[in-house]
Structure 1
């Protein structure tokens, strides 16, 4: 999310978690101040996730001052055990599965909207010692089938619910959540 407005729309649409990109070359990356505003504004029942592609411990230290519920980090960035956050590690198809985190996210698109590798995602879900989150190329039109096919613990969407880069579309967010909920657990 890049704004409080979009984050509140996502929560109203039924999103379980709100991700904010920080310390990243992404056009969706926001400042610590904007991230703080978003995290403070959302419901205490929505999980806040600070997302970074930075492998710099100093960037992570700054991000942790926001006190998100979880951080999504590159595979090898060390997160202090006493940080008080859940750790989601990003996996690429060449990366080994990880057990030193609370979840892994399978996404080879990194916010570009490219589709995920379905077979790789299935193998990850089958073999992972921790929950797998599926991302990459998901949108309201394909998310239900992706969930049925892969059976991830959760799904993550970015560009698939945008009106423009960094600007969420309320109609698409509602349609995405509705599509997710049509799949039997």
Structure 2
């Protein structure tokens, strides 16, 4: 009898687990996911926007401020990953001098972008319920830093443009950095929208 009960319990456990998982996914209101989709339609890279932010819908809810904050955090995480990758590339043996210089310059640009995104996130978190001129001043800082971070990423990519820059090293760096630039571009759109609503 005990064996039968145990067997039945073991059979039911995966079903209970799956049911619990489905319920937890379903627990995110569709209004939250719709808010992200509608918001992403206003960006330059809507598909990437939805892909990078959907997992955070329960945190973002329907808050323009939280949307901007999360988009910046996602941008920072991707920029840090790109920086780590580029840092490893600088240690590759066999890089030509021009390649090495371009990779080194790119790493500096991404490092600057990481710093600026970090400052933007802190600034957005810190000014609380500021209003009027104080709010505008803080938002101006955030917009300036995020714009500069986007420029940093684009400058990195431009460093690989040229007749002898078709190698796999450049391609792999460019693919990552372009992805980061696109995510930052989307984040900047949300920062500008949030600023415009006040």
TM-score, structure 2 normalization: 0.24
Greater strand content: 1
Higher RCO structure (Cα 8 Å, ≥6 apart): 2
| Structure whose CA Rg is larger | 2
Greater helix content: 2
TM-score, structure 1 normalization: 0.25
